[in-house]
Structure 1
Amino acid sequence: MKTSYSISNLLTRNLHDVFGENDPARRRKAIDEIFTEDCAFYEPKGIYRGRDEIDRIAGAIKATHPDFQYQPIAEPEELVNAGRIRWVSGRPGEAPAYAGTDFIIVREGRIAAVYLFFDKLS
């Protein structure tokens, strides 16, 4: 039986357990749990399809700043089969280095697509 997750839970886990995770085994376990097999990740520099590609790009992004942490700046929002979460990222105790919004489409309790928008820091 497939486990189904709430949209808010998926948004939070994607932020922390996938893109915020330094440990490759834990990151992959989370990807396998919360993403559909045919998932896609859309960001300004590219499109990545499937769990293996999401695993690869999440690891590559995290490797560029392993000490950065993602911090939600608002509660996750849900609308039918979609949701979004606004966040900032940077070194703990320092001003955020950048900000963004993750928008997801959910199918059968898993993430089918993630759209990453970078936001201006206030």
Structure 2
Amino acid sequence: METTPKLLEDSLLVIWNDRDAARRLAAMENVYAANMVFYESNDGAAITGYQAINDLITTLQSQWAPEFRFELSHPAQVNHQVQHISWTLGLPGQPPVASGMDIAVIEDSKIKLLHLFLDAAGK
């Protein structure tokens, strides 16, 4: 079992920050289970598998300035098979346009489930 926050850090800082779809797909194989499920919101449907998640990232990145980056706002934490990370999104060195946290469930040393919690606007 992965007992360090590296998987979740790589998910955010390597995969979600990369604007090259082919590189993202390659990185996903080292971080995500093949049938990994991403829950973007409680109202949205589950997004499953490398290609669907990669397509979502491409779509979201097309709505952001090219310089936008995810950055850690607090050190990642681990409790057995669950990892938690807090982040911000925006131009480095400027106030973020979004913030939130990701919570991942690790299975067989890969992220099996990933849940996004987006902070409410204005907070």
What TM-score comes out, normalization by structure 1 length?
Answer: 0.89
**Separation in 1, partners of 2:107, 2:118:** 24
**Separation in 1, partners of 2:9, 2:24:** 13
For residue 37 of structure 1, give the secondary structure of its aligned residue in structure 2. strand
Say whether the 8 Å CA contact 1:7–1:106 is kept in structure 2.
no
Q: Does 1:56 align with 2:79?
A: no
Residue correspondence of structure 1 range 76-115 to structure 2 within 5 A: 76-115=76-115
* Residue-by-residue CA offset, 1:64-99 (whole Å, 9 max, x unaligned): 113211111111010110111001110123211010
- Runs of 4+ in structure 1 off by over 2 angstroms are 4-7
Amino acid at match of 2:11: N
Residue correspondence of structure 1 range 33-48 to structure 2 within 5 A: 33-44=30-41, 45-48=44-47
Q: Does 1:9 align with 2:6?
A: yes
**Separation in 1, partners of 2:11, 2:75:** 14
Amino acid at match of 1:94: Q
Q: Which residue of 2 aligns with 1:72?
A: 72
The size of the alignment, in residue pairs, is: 119
Report percent identity of matched pairs. Answer: 23
Say whether the 8 Å CA contact 1:7–1:82 is kept in structure 2.
no
* 7-16 vs 106-115, greater mean Cα deviation: 7-16
**Separation in 2, partners of 1:37, 1:17:** 17
Amino acid at match of 1:25: A
For residues 94 and 83 of structure 1, do their structure 2 counterparts lie closer, same or farther at Cα, with a shift above 3 Å needed? same
**Separation in 1, partners of 2:55, 2:4:** 23
Q: Which residues of structure 1 form unaligned runs of 5+?
A: none
Q: Which residues of structure 2 form unaligned runs of 5+?
A: none
Amino acid at match of 2:58: G
Q: Does 1:24 align with 2:21?
A: yes
For residue 64 of structure 1, give the secondary structure of its aligned residue in structure 2. coil
The Cα RMSD (Å) is 1.6
**Separation in 1, partners of 2:50, 2:4:** 18
What TM-score comes out, normalization by structure 2 length?
Answer: 0.88
